[in-house]
Amino acid sequence: MKTLFKRVVTAALVGTLALTAAVAQVKPLKIWVYDNSRIDALTQIGKDFEAKYKIPVEVSMVDLGQIKSQFLLANGGSDTADIAIIPHDNLGGLVENGVVLPVNLGRKASNFLKPAIDGFMYNGKLYGLPLSVENIGFFRNTTLVPQAPKTWDEVIAIGKKLMAEGKTTQIMGFPDATYNVFPLYTAFGGAIFGKKADGSWDPHKVELNNTGMVKGLSLMVQMVKNKEAPGTIDWDGAHVLFESGKAPFILTGPWAINRFKTAKVPYAISAFPAAKKGGQPGAPFLGVQGMIVSAASKQAALAQAFLTQFMATEKYMNQLYLADHRPSAWKTVNDKADDSDSKGFAEAGTNAIPMPSIPAMGYVWDAWGNAAALAFSGEKTPKEALDTAATQVETQVAAKKK
């Protein structure tokens, strides 16, 4: 027993010493990525960085939830990454807790798409290096609908005609009643939050129940009541309807393209319909993905330099684009995407609104989704349902303020 105890203590002490010695070595820059399509490209870029600066770069895949909780709760324990890739809508929660550092792109900022930079702006400061952008597109089955409709009235007229001819069973399925179909709300003037004087989102101005939102939801409820759209919100179901040619339209994102190609459904992507002729097309949310620097990083200056001096170059932005073909946030690389899908998404996203990244957005999704479900089932009118949703968001914002 005694010798065993001694051995354990000795081993522990030696271990601690060894660890301390290891820490004194050149510390690698740690990067966390939450999806695997970019790991190889980033690892390659990291090797270039190491070859040039003799500072190793360690890229690893970490679940997005884990990235957030490590940044927020671990208070920068020694294992936390120096750099992480996040979708920009998570930025607000991180900034409000003081766990990310600003990034100074200087004049290089003009090389990036303006909305991509806007996505990573918070309280007037830039907090990340935008890498890629994505938005929902308006898909139509080109065999059934050769010409893209310009208004929602046209969409419904075409859909009804196809149903009457027995070619389809629905006008469209809704993948969700919130994010994916947001352009349907915005066509009528829908919004989530109002803006402050400085142009940033104001969590105290909840617009979730404005007339545009009510009109958009009413239109969807109308389709459900007429049995022109399924009354259950079902992501998979909506895509299957489109794939099998049972519905001529769908609002969805780049992630659906592979399954449409596999299903061999002839499709085209275009701008979203407007409320009426000559009106503004509906605007989708813009999602921006980018790299942020941890405030707890022991080599934050180096991490920032990695972003601004190394990553923010056409060469590496292009290398990253080639990895998964997500539209680049770097203008000249973004221009290279000239296939019809990319063009379609770009057309649909010309007026895209960066998704609000304020923490209050976290209260919105469930409230909004529940409101739509209650309206779909007929338990509440669209107005009543959205009023409740807005109150729920307001209540939680107010409770937070205390």
Which residue, chain included where needed, has tokens 């820059």? 29
Residues 6+ apart with CB under 8 A from 373: 177, 233
Residue 398's contacts (CB-CB under 8 Å, 6 or more residues apart) are none
Q: Choose, by CB under 8 A, the member of 79, 258, 262, 402 that binds another protein.
A: 402
User: Which residue from 37, 63, 98, 157 is in contact with another protein, where contact means CB under 8 A?
Assistant: 98
Q: Does 226 bind another protein (CB under 8 A)?
A: no
Asked if 363 touches another protein (CB under 8 A), the answer is yes
Stretch that binds another protein, among 37-45, 156-164, 343-351, 358-366 (CB under 8 A): 358-366
Binding another protein (rule: CB under 8 A), the pick from 28, 245, 279, 369 is: 369
- Is residue 19 involved in binding another protein (CB under 8 A)? no
Q: Is 78 near another protein (CB under 8 A)?
A: no
Nearest-10 Cα torsion for 15, 20, 22, 24: -170
Cβ of residue 166: shortest distance to another protein, in angstroms? 19
CB 158, CB 149: distance < 8 Å: yes
Residue 173: which residues within 8 A CB-CB, separation 6 or more? 229, 230, 234, 237, 238, 239, 240, 241, 242, 247, 250
Q: Applying CB under 8 A, does 153 fall inside the site for another protein?
A: no
H-type helices in 188-339, by residue range?
211-225, 235-243, 257-262, 300-305, 314-324, 331-336
Q: How far is the CB of 51 from another protein (least distance, A)?
A: 10
Q: Of 318, 304, 177, 172, whose CA–CA distance to 245 is shortest?
A: 172
399 binds another protein (CB under 8 A): yes
Which residues of this protein are in contact with another protein, per CB under 8 A? 2, 5-6, 9, 13, 52-55, 65, 68-69, 72-73, 75, 90, 92-99, 104, 106, 173, 230-232, 234, 236-237, 240-241, 295, 299-302, 304-305, 308-309, 359-363, 365-367, 369-371, 373-374, 376-377, 379-380, 385, 388, 391-392, 395-396, 399-400, 402
